[in-house]
Amino acid sequence: MALEIYWNLSTAAPIDARRAEWADTDRPWSPHRDGVSRRLQINRYDYLAQVARAAELTGFDGIFIPDDPDGEEPWIVTGTLVRDTRRLKLVTQVAPGSASAVYHAKMAASLQRFSGGRQAWAIDLDVPAELRARQGDFVPQAEQAERAGELLTLTDGIWGTGPFDYDGRFFVVEKGGLAGLVTQAPKPAAWIAGGGNDGAELAARHGAVHLLPPQPIAGLAERVAELKARSLRVAARIDLFTREDRRDLDAERDRLAPAENRLEGTYDTVAATLGELAEAGLDVVLFSAADQIREVHIVGEQIVSRLRSNRARAAA
Protein backbone atom coordinates (compact mmCIF):
# COMPACT_ATOMS: atom_id res chain seq x y z
CA MET A 1 0.00 0.00 0.00
CA ALA A 2 1.26 3.51 -0.85
CA LEU A 3 2.61 5.74 1.90
CA GLU A 4 -0.05 8.19 3.11
CA ILE A 5 1.24 11.68 3.88
CA TYR A 6 -0.24 13.95 6.57
CA TRP A 7 0.64 17.32 8.03
CA ASN A 8 0.55 17.96 11.79
CA LEU A 9 -1.37 21.23 12.10
CA SER A 10 -0.03 23.25 15.03
CA THR A 11 -2.97 25.09 16.59
CA ALA A 12 -0.73 26.84 19.14
CA ALA A 13 1.48 28.71 16.69
CA PRO A 14 2.83 31.95 18.18
CA ILE A 15 1.47 35.32 17.14
CA ASP A 16 3.04 36.36 13.84
CA ALA A 17 2.77 39.94 12.59
CA ARG A 18 2.96 38.68 9.01
CA ARG A 19 -0.47 37.12 9.60
CA ALA A 20 -1.86 40.43 10.91
CA GLU A 21 -2.79 38.96 14.29
CA TRP A 22 -2.97 41.04 17.45
CA ALA A 23 -0.78 40.17 20.41
CA ASP A 24 -2.34 40.04 23.87
CA THR A 25 -1.03 43.53 24.64
CA ASP A 26 -2.47 45.06 21.46
CA ARG A 27 -5.96 46.39 20.96
CA PRO A 28 -8.59 43.90 19.73
CA TRP A 29 -10.04 44.03 16.26
CA SER A 30 -13.16 46.17 16.08
CA PRO A 31 -15.74 45.93 13.23
CA HIS A 32 -16.65 49.61 13.14
CA ARG A 33 -13.01 50.73 13.33
CA ASP A 34 -11.18 48.06 11.33
CA GLY A 35 -13.88 46.64 9.04
CA VAL A 36 -12.54 48.44 5.98
CA SER A 37 -9.08 46.91 6.39
CA ARG A 38 -8.80 43.43 4.92
CA ARG A 39 -5.38 43.05 6.55
CA LEU A 40 -6.89 43.38 10.02
CA GLN A 41 -9.63 40.84 9.31
CA ILE A 42 -7.21 37.93 9.07
CA ASN A 43 -7.10 35.89 12.27
CA ARG A 44 -5.64 32.60 13.51
CA TYR A 45 -8.37 30.48 11.92
CA ASP A 46 -7.69 32.06 8.55
CA TYR A 47 -4.07 31.02 8.97
CA LEU A 48 -4.96 27.43 9.90
CA ALA A 49 -7.25 27.26 6.89
CA GLN A 50 -4.44 28.61 4.74
CA VAL A 51 -2.11 25.82 5.90
CA ALA A 52 -4.80 23.19 5.28
CA ARG A 53 -5.55 24.48 1.80
CA ALA A 54 -1.83 24.52 0.99
CA ALA A 55 -1.58 20.88 2.10
CA GLU A 56 -4.55 19.96 -0.08
CA LEU A 57 -3.25 21.80 -3.13
CA THR A 58 0.22 20.26 -2.89
CA GLY A 59 -0.96 16.66 -2.63
CA PHE A 60 -1.09 15.74 1.06
CA ASP A 61 -3.58 13.03 1.99
CA GLY A 62 -4.71 14.67 5.22
CA ILE A 63 -3.97 16.79 8.27
CA PHE A 64 -3.70 15.86 11.93
CA ILE A 65 -5.34 18.27 14.40
CA PRO A 66 -3.74 17.78 17.84
CA ASP A 67 -5.26 18.54 21.23
CA ASP A 68 -2.62 20.99 22.38
CA PRO A 69 -3.37 22.35 25.88
CA ASP A 70 -2.14 25.77 24.70
CA GLY A 71 -3.82 25.55 21.30
CA GLU A 72 -7.29 25.72 19.79
CA GLU A 73 -9.98 23.10 20.44
CA PRO A 74 -9.48 20.34 17.81
CA TRP A 75 -13.21 19.67 17.30
CA ILE A 76 -13.79 23.35 16.50
CA VAL A 77 -10.80 23.49 14.17
CA THR A 78 -12.00 20.35 12.39
CA GLY A 79 -15.48 21.78 11.92
CA THR A 80 -13.99 24.97 10.49
CA LEU A 81 -11.69 23.17 8.07
CA VAL A 82 -14.50 20.96 6.76
CA ARG A 83 -15.69 24.04 4.85
CA ASP A 84 -12.23 25.08 3.68
CA THR A 85 -11.14 21.75 2.20
CA ARG A 86 -12.72 19.27 -0.16
CA ARG A 87 -10.45 16.24 -0.26
CA LEU A 88 -8.20 16.20 2.83
CA LYS A 89 -8.82 13.65 5.58
CA LEU A 90 -9.14 15.38 8.94
CA VAL A 91 -7.76 13.49 11.95
CA THR A 92 -9.14 15.00 15.16
CA GLN A 93 -7.38 14.21 18.43
CA VAL A 94 -10.17 13.20 20.81
CA ALA A 95 -9.88 13.49 24.59
CA PRO A 96 -11.96 10.55 25.93
CA GLY A 97 -12.56 12.25 29.27
CA SER A 98 -13.90 15.48 27.80
CA ALA A 99 -17.42 14.23 27.04
CA SER A 100 -19.61 11.14 27.02
CA ALA A 101 -18.99 8.55 24.34
CA VAL A 102 -22.44 9.22 22.90
CA TYR A 103 -21.69 12.92 22.56
CA HIS A 104 -18.36 12.20 20.85
CA ALA A 105 -20.16 9.88 18.42
CA LYS A 106 -22.93 12.37 17.68
CA MET A 107 -20.43 15.14 16.94
CA ALA A 108 -18.58 12.75 14.64
CA ALA A 109 -21.82 11.80 12.88
CA SER A 110 -22.47 15.45 12.04
CA LEU A 111 -18.91 16.01 10.86
CA GLN A 112 -19.01 12.88 8.72
CA ARG A 113 -22.20 14.03 7.00
CA PHE A 114 -20.92 17.55 6.47
CA SER A 115 -17.46 16.45 5.25
CA GLY A 116 -18.38 13.46 3.12
CA GLY A 117 -16.87 10.99 5.59
CA ARG A 118 -13.43 12.59 5.88
CA GLN A 119 -12.97 12.64 9.68
CA ALA A 120 -10.89 10.19 11.72
CA TRP A 121 -10.26 10.07 15.47
CA ALA A 122 -6.91 9.99 17.23
CA ILE A 123 -6.64 9.00 20.89
CA ASP A 124 -3.30 9.72 22.57
CA LEU A 125 -2.49 7.31 25.40
CA ASP A 126 0.69 9.17 26.37
CA VAL A 127 -0.75 12.54 27.44
CA PRO A 128 1.03 13.37 30.73
CA ALA A 129 -1.14 13.22 33.86
CA GLU A 130 -0.47 16.89 34.71
CA LEU A 131 -1.79 18.02 31.32
CA ARG A 132 -4.88 15.84 31.60
CA ALA A 133 -5.50 17.21 35.10
CA ARG A 134 -5.66 20.71 33.61
CA GLN A 135 -8.64 19.47 31.60
CA GLY A 136 -10.32 17.82 34.58
CA ASP A 137 -9.23 14.28 33.65
CA PHE A 138 -7.87 12.31 36.61
CA VAL A 139 -8.07 8.74 35.29
CA PRO A 140 -4.76 7.00 36.09
CA GLN A 141 -2.24 6.55 33.29
CA ALA A 142 -2.44 2.76 33.60
CA GLU A 143 -6.15 2.88 32.68
CA GLN A 144 -5.90 5.07 29.59
CA ALA A 145 -5.90 2.17 27.12
CA GLU A 146 -8.88 0.53 28.82
CA ARG A 147 -10.91 3.74 28.68
CA ALA A 148 -10.00 4.35 25.03
CA GLY A 149 -11.06 0.79 24.22
CA GLU A 150 -14.44 1.38 25.88
CA LEU A 151 -14.94 4.57 23.88
CA LEU A 152 -14.27 2.78 20.60
CA THR A 153 -16.40 -0.24 21.55
CA LEU A 154 -19.33 1.91 22.60
CA THR A 155 -19.04 3.99 19.43
CA ASP A 156 -19.24 0.80 17.37
CA GLY A 157 -22.42 -0.11 19.22
CA ILE A 158 -24.28 3.17 18.98
CA TRP A 159 -23.24 3.82 15.36
CA GLY A 160 -26.47 2.26 14.23
CA THR A 161 -30.22 2.23 14.73
CA GLY A 162 -30.11 0.79 18.26
CA PRO A 163 -31.21 0.13 20.86
CA PHE A 164 -27.76 -0.53 22.28
CA ASP A 165 -26.88 -0.99 25.96
CA TYR A 166 -23.39 -0.76 27.40
CA ASP A 167 -22.26 -0.79 31.02
CA GLY A 168 -18.52 -0.23 31.32
CA ARG A 169 -16.14 1.18 33.90
CA PHE A 170 -15.92 4.55 32.18
CA PHE A 171 -18.94 4.81 29.85
CA VAL A 172 -22.57 3.73 30.21
CA VAL A 173 -25.45 4.00 27.76
CA GLU A 174 -29.00 2.66 27.82
CA LYS A 175 -30.93 2.00 24.61
CA GLY A 176 -28.51 4.10 22.61
CA GLY A 177 -28.22 4.45 18.85
CA LEU A 178 -27.81 7.28 16.37
CA ALA A 179 -30.45 5.96 13.95
CA GLY A 180 -30.91 8.22 10.92
CA LEU A 181 -27.91 10.39 11.83
CA VAL A 182 -25.51 7.70 10.60
CA THR A 183 -27.48 6.22 7.70
CA GLN A 184 -25.16 7.86 5.16
CA ALA A 185 -22.18 8.56 7.46
CA PRO A 186 -19.24 6.14 7.83
CA LYS A 187 -17.89 5.64 11.34
CA PRO A 188 -14.62 7.55 11.80
CA ALA A 189 -11.46 5.53 11.41
CA ALA A 190 -9.33 5.42 14.56
CA TRP A 191 -5.70 6.24 15.31
CA ILE A 192 -4.12 5.13 18.59
CA ALA A 193 -1.11 7.25 19.55
CA GLY A 194 1.56 5.82 21.82
CA GLY A 195 0.71 3.60 24.76
CA GLY A 196 3.53 1.11 24.14
CA ASN A 197 2.40 -2.49 23.90
CA ASP A 198 -1.07 -1.61 25.28
CA GLY A 199 -1.49 0.91 22.48
CA ALA A 200 -0.40 -1.59 19.85
CA GLU A 201 -2.82 -4.22 21.17
CA LEU A 202 -5.66 -1.70 21.27
CA ALA A 203 -4.94 -0.63 17.68
CA ALA A 204 -4.88 -4.24 16.53
CA ARG A 205 -8.16 -5.03 18.29
CA HIS A 206 -10.00 -2.11 16.67
CA GLY A 207 -8.31 -2.07 13.28
CA ALA A 208 -6.77 1.31 14.06
CA VAL A 209 -3.63 3.04 12.84
CA HIS A 210 -0.91 2.87 15.50
CA LEU A 211 0.85 6.24 15.70
CA LEU A 212 4.33 5.91 17.16
CA PRO A 213 5.72 8.49 19.60
CA PRO A 214 8.57 10.68 18.27
CA GLN A 215 11.76 8.63 17.90
CA PRO A 216 15.09 8.76 16.03
CA ILE A 217 14.87 8.05 12.34
CA ALA A 218 17.81 5.62 12.55
CA GLY A 219 15.81 2.93 14.37
CA LEU A 220 12.42 3.67 12.87
CA ALA A 221 12.45 1.05 10.10
CA GLU A 222 13.22 -1.71 12.61
CA ARG A 223 10.38 -0.63 14.91
CA VAL A 224 7.97 -0.46 11.97
CA ALA A 225 8.93 -3.96 10.89
CA GLU A 226 8.23 -5.29 14.40
CA LEU A 227 4.73 -3.81 14.38
CA LYS A 228 3.98 -4.90 10.83
CA ALA A 229 4.63 -8.48 11.98
CA ARG A 230 1.54 -7.98 14.19
CA SER A 231 -0.54 -6.93 11.15
CA LEU A 232 -0.78 -3.32 12.31
CA ARG A 233 -1.08 -0.18 10.22
CA VAL A 234 1.76 2.05 11.42
CA ALA A 235 2.21 5.84 11.36
CA ALA A 236 5.33 7.79 12.32
CA ARG A 237 5.85 11.39 13.43
CA ILE A 238 8.69 13.10 11.56
CA ASP A 239 10.00 16.61 12.10
CA LEU A 240 11.17 17.44 8.59
CA PHE A 241 13.92 19.82 7.53
CA THR A 242 14.65 19.68 3.83
CA ARG A 243 16.17 22.06 1.28
CA GLU A 244 17.48 21.83 -2.26
CA ASP A 245 21.16 21.52 -1.35
CA ARG A 246 23.52 21.20 1.61
CA ARG A 247 24.42 24.89 1.52
CA ASP A 248 20.82 25.88 2.25
CA LEU A 249 20.57 23.26 5.01
CA ASP A 250 23.72 24.57 6.69
CA ALA A 251 22.52 28.18 6.45
CA GLU A 252 19.20 27.52 8.23
CA ARG A 253 20.03 24.77 10.70
CA ASP A 254 20.83 27.10 13.62
CA ARG A 255 17.26 28.42 13.82
CA LEU A 256 15.79 24.97 14.49
CA ALA A 257 14.78 23.75 17.93
CA PRO A 258 16.08 20.28 18.88
CA ALA A 259 13.92 17.33 17.79
CA GLU A 260 14.76 13.67 18.29
CA ASN A 261 12.58 12.63 15.34
CA ARG A 262 14.08 15.02 12.79
CA LEU A 263 14.71 13.89 9.23
CA GLU A 264 17.15 16.26 7.56
CA GLY A 265 18.46 16.28 4.03
CA THR A 266 18.08 17.44 0.48
CA TYR A 267 14.88 16.80 -1.40
CA ASP A 268 16.26 13.69 -3.09
CA THR A 269 17.84 12.16 0.03
CA VAL A 270 14.71 12.75 2.12
CA ALA A 271 12.51 11.19 -0.56
CA ALA A 272 14.87 8.20 -0.71
CA THR A 273 14.74 7.72 3.09
CA LEU A 274 10.96 7.88 3.08
CA GLY A 275 10.88 5.36 0.27
CA GLU A 276 12.97 3.00 2.39
CA LEU A 277 10.60 3.45 5.34
CA ALA A 278 7.67 2.65 3.07
CA GLU A 279 9.46 -0.48 1.92
CA ALA A 280 9.89 -1.44 5.59
CA GLY A 281 6.10 -1.24 5.95
CA LEU A 282 5.38 2.30 7.14
CA ASP A 283 1.80 3.16 6.16
CA VAL A 284 1.45 6.81 7.21
CA VAL A 285 3.93 9.62 7.81
CA LEU A 286 2.95 12.67 9.87
CA PHE A 287 5.17 15.66 9.06
CA SER A 288 5.66 18.75 11.19
CA ALA A 289 7.80 21.89 11.08
CA ALA A 290 7.88 25.21 12.89
CA ASP A 291 7.17 27.65 10.03
CA GLN A 292 4.05 25.86 8.82
CA ILE A 293 2.91 27.88 5.84
CA ARG A 294 6.38 27.92 4.32
CA GLU A 295 7.28 24.32 5.06
CA VAL A 296 3.99 22.76 3.99
CA HIS A 297 4.54 24.29 0.53
CA ILE A 298 8.13 23.06 0.38
CA VAL A 299 7.26 19.55 1.53
CA GLY A 300 4.23 19.29 -0.72
CA GLU A 301 5.90 20.63 -3.83
CA GLN A 302 9.26 18.89 -3.40
CA ILE A 303 8.81 15.76 -1.26
CA VAL A 304 5.21 14.68 -1.81
CA SER A 305 5.62 15.17 -5.55
CA ARG A 306 8.79 13.03 -5.58
CA LEU A 307 7.14 10.24 -3.60
CA ARG A 308 4.16 10.24 -5.97
CA SER A 309 6.45 10.20 -9.02
CA ASN A 310 8.58 7.38 -7.62
CA ARG A 311 5.46 5.35 -6.90
CA ALA A 312 4.15 5.90 -10.42
CA ARG A 313 7.48 4.84 -11.96
CA ALA A 314 7.59 1.72 -9.78
CA ALA A 315 4.06 0.79 -10.82
CA ALA A 316 4.93 1.29 -14.49
Cβ atoms 154, 166 nearer than 8 A: yes
Cβ atoms 176, 158 nearer than 8 A: yes
C-alpha distances (whole Å) from 88 to each of 4, 52, 121 are 11, 8, 14
Cβ atoms 282, 3 nearer than 8 A: yes
Give buried/exposed letters for 45-58 (b at 16+ CB in 10 A, else e): eebbbbbbbbbbeb
Residues 6+ apart with CB under 8 A from 221: 276, 277, 280, 282
Give 173: exposed, middle or buried? Use CB within 10 Å, 0-12, 13-18, 19+.
buried
pTM over the 0.85 mark: yes
The pLDDT value recorded for residue 21 is 55
> Over its length of 316 residues, how does the chain's per-residue pLDDT go in tens digits?
589 999 999 998 765 555 555 555 556 556 666 656 555 556 778 889 999 999 999 999 999 999 998 999 999 999 999 999 999 999 999 999 999 999 999 999 999 999 999 999 999 999 999 999 988 999 999 999 999 999 999 999 999 888 999 999 999 999 999 988 888 899 999 999 999 999 999 999 999 999 999 999 999 999 999 999 999 999 999 999 999 999 999 999 999 999 999 999 999 999 999 999 999 999 999 999 988 989 999 999 999 999 988 777 766 6
Cβ atoms 124, 93 nearer than 8 A: yes
CATH number at residue 242: 3.20.20.30
Looking at the 3D structure of the chain, how many domains does it have?
Answer: 1
Is the bond leading into 163 cis (omega within 30 degrees of zero)? yes
Containing domain of residue 9, as a range? Answer: 4-315
The one-letter amino acid at 187 = K
Cα 187 to Cα 206: distance, rounded to the nearest angstrom: 12
Cα 28 to Cα 42: distance, rounded to the nearest angstrom: 12
The pLDDT value recorded for residue 17 is 55
The pLDDT value recorded for residue 174 is 94
The pLDDT value recorded for residue 180 is 84
The pLDDT value recorded for residue 8 is 98
Name the residue among 157, 159, 152, 153 with its Cα closest to residue 182.
159
Cα 89 to Cα 52: distance, rounded to the nearest angstrom: 10
Cα 235 to Cα 239: distance, rounded to the nearest angstrom: 13
Rounded to the nearest 5°, which phi and psi values hold at 210?
A: -100, 110
